[in-house]
Amino acid sequence: MTQREPGPPPSSTANPPVEVKPLPARDAAAVRHVPFESPVRDVMDGAQRLEIKIHDHGFVALVDAMPRLVPEGQTADAAIVQAARVSYGQGTKKISEDRGLIRYLLRHRHTTPFEMVEFKFHIAMPIFIARQWIRHRTANVNEYSARYSVVPDRFYRPSSESVRKQSKANRQGGAELFGPEEAQTAAEFLRYLDDAEALYARYERLLESGVSRELARIGLPVSAYTQWYWKCDLHNTLRFLSLRMDPHAQEEIRVYADAMYALLAPIVPLTMEAFRDYELEGVHLTRLEMEALRGERRGGSGELASDNKREQDEWREKREKFGF
């Protein structure tokens, strides 16, 4: 038997060329190759991936973008402007400047031009975060299969200093941290995580004993990591960021959303600037809040005409943002 030479690892470039059989002439003849009119640049600056590490084992990596190539000196915002100009045609003479156009589109919720830009991310996150993330149905997702492959021995655990107490104001949220005098409780929480992580050794033993991967995994904690490819258009990515960068979102998903914002900001800077101005740091007022403001201007107390505690709390938060 001849011994095989050690060769390079298999890669897409090592694949033998595939012969593509031409279609009947009536279809093939229609293709016209139109080159770019001016030099172009890669919006990811030639990178295979742009990655930000999250916690001990997580990451968000931008692995592709559409458009990937834009005219030199421009950003991927150009694809939004290009799409908008198709719909506005001559009307763009009035709002011809790109920045102004993008800000106008975002302010007036003319959203489809933002769907012309897409991003593909590779993300590693704990399963409890993936459960929140998957609710954003407008993305295309392909996840690591724990039926097909063994779950890696990686778990999310906060440091003892960052264990949060249950918030009194928000039933869904964690708020302040355990102080040094309550360190026992934070330590107890970490021991509880130790016990959950210790199940991994039993998972491995059960796999070795022949239990199927699809069943063995069901005893593992939701702090175990999963990963997926997540592709989404810019309009729905902004929606995701708006919900998950918000202070009401769980801190563990917020860090991922913040990282995605940081990755996208240099690629679509005009859009991200407008998104920050109108959505992230803008304040939307309800009718009752407007009336409270008008009343205050006329010398009234500025109180909200509502007996709902949550509405009152939200009004207080907004007033603080205004500096009242």
| Catalytic machinery residues | 244
Q: Residue 32: CA atoms inside 13 Å, Cβ hemisphere, count?
A: 2
Question: Of all residues in the chain, what percent are helix, strand and coil, respectively (each to 5)?
Answer: 45, 15, 40
Q: Tell which one of 52, 66, 141, 249 touches ligand FAD (CB under 6 A).
A: 249
Which of residues 136 and 276 has its CB atom nearest to ligand FAD in the complex? 136
Which of residues 236 and 306 has its CB atom nearest to ligand FAD in the complex? 236
Q: Is 112 in the site for ligand FAD (CB under 6 A)?
A: no
Q: Is 171 in the site for ligand FAD (CB under 6 A)?
A: no
Which of residues 50 and 238 has its CB atom nearest to ligand FAD in the complex? 238
For 80, counting Cβ atoms within 10 Å of its Cβ (0-12 exposed, 13-18 middle, 19+ buried), the class is buried
Binding positions for ligand FAD, 275-294, rule CB under 6 A = none
Residue-wise DSSP of 2-64: PPPPP-PPP-GGGSPPPPPPPPPHHHHTT------SS-EEETTTT-S-EEEEETTTEEEEEEE
Q: x/- string (CB under 6 A) for ligand FAD, residues 178-217?
A: ----------------------------------------
Pairing of strands 69-71, 40-42: antiparallel
Q: Which of 268, 274, 270 is nearest to 76 (CA)?
A: 268
Q: Is 138 in the site for ligand FAD (CB under 6 A)?
A: yes
Among the residue ranges 119-127, 162-170, 241-249, 275-283, the one whose residues contact ligand FAD (CB under 6 A)? 241-249
Looking at beta carbons, which residue is closest to ligand FAD? Answer: 137
- CA–CA distance, 315 with 166 (Å, rounded to integer): 23
Q: Is 135 in the site for ligand FAD (CB under 6 A)?
A: yes
Which of residues 59 and 133 has its CB atom nearest to ligand FAD in the complex? 133
Residues that bind ligand FAD (CB under 6 A): 135-138, 172, 236, 239, 243, 248-249
